């Protein structure tokens, strides 16, 4: 077990890195900025692969009731918001900046839980959340590649991610496992995004996409769907074989690795204040993991 955990953690980091690099390549380099189609494709592939692995016995998905599905629908709506806004934001923002705002979603999640469940916060946790807020707030002022649309969508992504984390924690007593929740998310996302593809203009716009018949585009889309599914499975496996603290630490390390290597692949103009904000966000995220370890809390 001592050997399996590091191997599982490093495999998670590799998949995490490749997943974001491939998505960034399709969205920013090839400029396939049609999120209803791109995310619809990813959720379709994920849903089909999850169904196959369920039927072959690799994962366990129970026969959940209609009431259980309906009770989870708010989570599925938030999930669609996460992937749609995340796709819009990632197409315009560098990966390190995207991660800084993604980490700050924990602030909104904590505020929601404090308001609904009346949870108390330790001074250390309050400090960690404050660092995340400062990092995300200051970044737009010092970003040399400032993109207002990118920051708008990343804030929507932040709110949806925070809301999803809070809802997931409030539904801890739910009869649905995390895999079952993801199965419902996939099915709901495919249906909603398919219906939204024409009204949003994504369908007609994609027909004029210049790389529509290029192997690089086809390969990127296939890789993004498969990697996204593998990332879901390896995350669930990591959570089941590790404590929430260790899982949070591996996730933090995966983000640091991805953020550090992405400027070597994609254009990113960095100045001293931007670097300071990014490091502040990393410190805030690491401090939050340390706080939750001492308080015995779990991260969604």
| Predicted local distance difference test score (pLDDT) of residue 300 | 47
| Predicted local distance difference test score (pLDDT) of residue 63 | 74
| Predicted local distance difference test score (pLDDT) of residue 296 | 54
| Predicted local distance difference test score (pLDDT) of residue 16 | 96
| Predicted local distance difference test score (pLDDT) of residue 284 | 94
**Helix ranges restricted to H, the chain:** 4-24, 35-55, 66-90, 95-117, 123-142, 148-170, 178-196, 202-206, 215-241, 244-261, 272-295
| Predicted local distance difference test score (pLDDT) of residue 58 | 85
With the C-alpha atoms ordered 133, 84, 207, 205, is the resulting torsion angle positive or negative? negative
| Predicted local distance difference test score (pLDDT) of residue 64 | 76
| Predicted local distance difference test score (pLDDT) of residue 83 | 97
User: Which segments in the chain show pLDDT lower than 70?
Assistant: 1-5, 118-120, 171-174, 294-300
Is 63 exposed, middle or buried, given 0-12, 13-18 or 19+ CB atoms closer than 10 A? exposed
| Predicted local distance difference test score (pLDDT) of residue 244 | 79
| 3 state SS of 29 | helix
* Dist. CA 198–CA 149, nearest whole Å: 22
Six-digit token string for 64: 């959940």
- Placement of tokens 């649905």 in the chain: 176
Rounded to whole angstroms, what are the CA distances from 153 to 82, 281, 282?
10, 19, 21
* Dist. CA 264–CA 240, nearest whole Å: 34
**The pTM of the whole model exceeds 0.85:** yes
| Predicted local distance difference test score (pLDDT) of residue 45 | 96
Q: DSSP code of 2? A: T
């Amino acid at each position: 077990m001592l050997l399996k955990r590091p191997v599982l953690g490093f495999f998670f980091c590799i998949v995490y890195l490749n997943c974001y690099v491939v998505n960034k390549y399709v969205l920013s380099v090839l400029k396939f900025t049609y999120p209803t189609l791109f995310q619809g494709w990813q959720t379709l592939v994920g849903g089909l692969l999850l169904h196959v692995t369920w039927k072959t016995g690799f994962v366990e998905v129970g026969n959940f009731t209609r009431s259980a599905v309906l009770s989870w629908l708010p989570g599925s709506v938030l999930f669609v918001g996460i992937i749609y806004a995340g796709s819009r934001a990632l197409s315009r923002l560098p990966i390190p900046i995207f991660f800084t705002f993604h980490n700050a979603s924990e602030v909104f999640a904590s505020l929601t839980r404090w308001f609904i469940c009346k949870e108390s916060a330790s001074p250390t946790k309050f400090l960690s959340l404050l660092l995340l807020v400062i990092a995300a707030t200051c970044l737009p002022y010092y970003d040399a590649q400032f993109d207002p649309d990118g920051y708008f969508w990343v804030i929507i992504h932040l709110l949806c991610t925070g809301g999803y984390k809070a809802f997931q924690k409030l539904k801890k007593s739910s009869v649905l496992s995390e895999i079952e929740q993801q199965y419902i998310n996939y099915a709901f996302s495919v249906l909603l995004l398919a219906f939204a593809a024409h009204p949003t203009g994504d369908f007609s716009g994609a027909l004029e996409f210049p790389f529509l018949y290029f192997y690089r585009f086809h390969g990127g889309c296939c890789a993004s769907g498969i990697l996204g599914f593998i990332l879901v499975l390896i995350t669930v496996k990591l959570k089941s074989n590790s404590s929430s603290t260790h899982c949070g630490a591996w996730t933090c390390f995966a983000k640091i690795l991805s953020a550090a290597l992405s400027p070597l692949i994609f254009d990113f103009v960095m100045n001293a204040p931007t670097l300071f904000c990014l490091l502040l966000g990393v410190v805030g995220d690491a401090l939050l993991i340390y706080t939750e370890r001492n308080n015995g809390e779990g991260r969604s």
